[in-house]
Amino acid sequence: MTTKFIPKPYRIERNDCQAMLIDIQEKLAPHIAEHQKLLKKTAILIQGLQALNIPIMVNEQYPKGLGSTLPELTQLLSEKNTPVFEKTTFSACDTPTSWHHIAQQNRNNVILFGTETHVCVMQTALDLLDNGMQPIIITDAVGSRDLYDRKIAIRRMRRAGAVVTTTEAILFELCRSSEDPAFKTISALVK
């Protein structure tokens, strides 16, 4: 007997969202499958979230060994004084300072993007679910060294209850209308 997964039928609200960039770092990024596409979507997502005033935080896995967040992303994030949290745990929720920041935002939906999908992104998503929060996985802005690992991790997160979407879909869902001040910025980003 198989069970059918029924997704929650709701629209994601801007005022209940925060975002987390996970581990797109200097020594890891070049090894991620299709990393150039990932970086392009990540840059679009960051700029779109900023236009929508969605708070973004950054987590870095052992930066002494893996380097910092890529400079092209850091440059986009520096304008908004984005907080950066170092971690050695795979889940951002297992790092007390990171978890405290997530909880303090008082925003239940957490948009996740970064690497690696099957390790840090997935473990963070599962921990968010365990803590009553709703992870939103941006499938074209998450990556792994192996595409199969990425595929299986996205499937597992979806089955666990994560919302799975894309960069363009989440930006327009949060924007909601062509009358929104962020619409022109988002439209220009996705062209």
Alpha helices in 14-146 (DSSP H): 35-51, 63-66, 71-78, 96-104, 122-130
* H or E element in which residue 147 lies: helix 147-160
Q: Is 120 designated active site?
A: yes
Instruction: Find the catalytic residue in 87, 127, 140, 175.
Output: 87
Q: Is 87 designated active site?
A: yes
Q: Which of 62, 49, 71, 67 is nearest to 141 (CA)?
A: 49
In angstroms, the Cα distances linking 59 to 6, 35, 90, 175 are 31, 18, 10, 26
Instruction: Find the catalytic residue in 17, 23, 93, 140.
Output: 23
Distance CA 95, CA 60 (A): 11
Q: Are 39 and 141 in contact (CB under 8 A)?
A: no
Q: Is 23 designated active site?
A: yes
Instruction: Find the catalytic residue in 17, 41, 93, 120.
Output: 120
Which residue type is seen at 152? I
Catalytically annotated residues: 23, 87, 120
